[in-house]
Each structure stands twice: as C-alpha cells, then as structure tokens.
C-alpha cells in the first residue's frame, strides 16, 4: 500500500503501518492529556494504542496463516487508523475455505480474550462492573474487553468485513457464487448506511469505516460479476 512504512516481518509476511497512523497516536496522546493535564496519561494512552495495533496484527495474521493452509499467500499486512488489512493473493471461491479464513481472525481475538480473562484473575472479575476505563480498569481486563469488542465488531455481517464473508460463504453453499455475493453486498451496504448514522451520533470513525465497506463491497461485487458471470 502506498504511503506505508514497513515495521516488521512476521511468518514471512511484511507488516506495514500507514503514514496516517502516527496521527492516531498523536490524537490519543492529546485527547487523553486534556482531561487531567498529566503527561503520563498521554504516554499510557499512546502505549495502549500500540498494544491495540499489536492485537490487530495478530488478528490479520490469523487470516493470513489460515489462507496459507489453502496455498494462498498474503502479499502484506497494513495497519490503518481504522484497522488492519491482510492482502491475500486471491479470495477463494470455495465457501468452506472462505469461511475458515474469515473466522480465523476473530478466533484469534476470542483466544486472546480468554487469555486476558485468565490473566485478569479469571472468575473473580465476573459480576463486577466491566465498564471499559483505560485508567481505572485493570490492564488485563481492558485488553479482554478490547478483544471481545473486536470479535463482535468484526463479525457484523457487513461484507467485505469478516462477518460479511461468513455470510457470503454460507449463502454460496446454497446459491450461485454471484448471487451470494450480490446479497452479501446489499446487506453490507445496509450496514454501511447504519454505520454512517451511528457515526454522526457517536464516533466519526464509523463513517470512515462505512466508506471503506461500501467501496470494498462494490469493488468485490464487480470482480465477482467478471470472474463468475453466472
Ligand atoms: Zn478480520
């Protein structure tokens, strides 16, 4: 991807961060400073963003390694301020393969959520108020909540997000690949519109994600119309 800097190579796959990523770090630092005007809050918030992006790299690596099992190489993994992208050499049109690859990412988050749940003291935290609070909450509890949130968010059936790929794969077991893609695209577009509405209300980042979903869905549908005309 253009405007990206290579930071590490994992399992033979180059990991890049996009040039806009430092802006997110800066934003995290500044907004968290304003509250208590304490520089350590900034450092802590920026550190948490870095850890968060480490988690996203592992999620993308989950997709990449699952794809590798089916002989599909991954060109690279890029971190954008809105999340990660693993660029697979191709998207398999065998539903079972797409299903496994799509679920591999969120599975990593489920595994990490369980790990952090145990590290946070396991069952002791059950029944307590589990509001996410970067400064008051325990680190492991926060990391568990982040992984749960990433699992749920990625499984929203907003094609071409992971949940949307799961939907397409399931539909493609009964319908033609093209028909399955068309339905998944429509559902993805409905979610994109919903994200725009929620973005105005809660977090503008959702609007950016909605644009990516919409463009991604339309682009992939166009490709499938070309490769699988019936
Ligand atoms: Zn994913």
Residue ranges covered by each domain of the chain = 156-224
The DSSP call for residue 228 is: -
pLDDT band at 127 (very low <50, low <70, confident <90, very high): low
CA of 225 to the centre of ligand 1 (A): 24
Q: How far is the CA of 94 from the centre of ligand 1 (A)?
A: 18
Q: 63: CA distance to ligand 1 center in Å? A: 7
Cα 79 to middle of ligand 1, angstroms: 12
Nearest to 82 by CA among 207, 214, 217: 207
Q: Is the pLDDT of residue 138 over 80?
A: no
Q: Say if residue 169's pLDDT is above 90.
A: yes
Q: How confident is the model at residue 66 (pLDDT cuts 50, 70, 90)?
A: very high
Q: Is 60 a catalytic residue?
A: yes
Residue 73 Cα distances to 5, 54, 201, angstroms:
20, 21, 40
Mean pLDDT of 99-111: 96
Task: Output the pTM of the full model.
Answer: 0.85
Q: What is the pLDDT of residue 195?
A: 92
Q: Which is more confidently placed, 97 or 118?
A: 97
Question: What is the C-alpha to C-alpha distance for residues 162 and 181, in angstroms, rounded to an integer?
Answer: 14
Given 60, 98, 182, 220, the catalytic residue: 60
Which helix (H) or strand (E) covers residue 48, if one does?
helix 39-69
């Amino acid at each position: 991807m253009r405007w990206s800097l290579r930071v590490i190579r994992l399992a033979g796959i180059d990991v890049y961060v996009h040039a806009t990523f430092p802006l997110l770090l800066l934003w995290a630092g500044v907004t968290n400073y304003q509250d208590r005007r304490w520089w350590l809050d900034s450092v802590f918030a920026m550190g948490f963003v870095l850890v968060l992006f480490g988690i996203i790299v592992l999620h993308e690596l989950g997709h990449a390694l699952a794809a590798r099992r089916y002989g599909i190489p991954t060109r690279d993994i890029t971190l954008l301020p809105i999340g990660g992208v693993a660029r697979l050499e191709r998207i398999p049109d065998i539903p079972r393969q797409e299903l496994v690859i799509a679920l591999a990412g969120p599975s990593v988050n489920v595994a990490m959520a369980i790990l952090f749940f145990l590290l946070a003291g396991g069952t002791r935290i059950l029944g307590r108020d589990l509001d996410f609070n970067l400064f008051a909450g325990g680190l492991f509890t926060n990391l568990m909540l982040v992984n749960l949130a990433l699992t749920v968010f990625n499984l929203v059936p907003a094609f071409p997000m992971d949940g949307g790929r799961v939907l397409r794969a399931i539909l493609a077991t009964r319908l033609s690949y093209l028909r399955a893609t068309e339905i998944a695209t429509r559902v993805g577009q409905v979610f994109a519109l919903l994200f725009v509405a929620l973005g105005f209300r809660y977090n503008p980042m959702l609007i950016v994600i909605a644009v990516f979903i919409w463009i991604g869905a339309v682009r992939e549908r166009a490709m499938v119309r070309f490769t699988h005309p019936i």
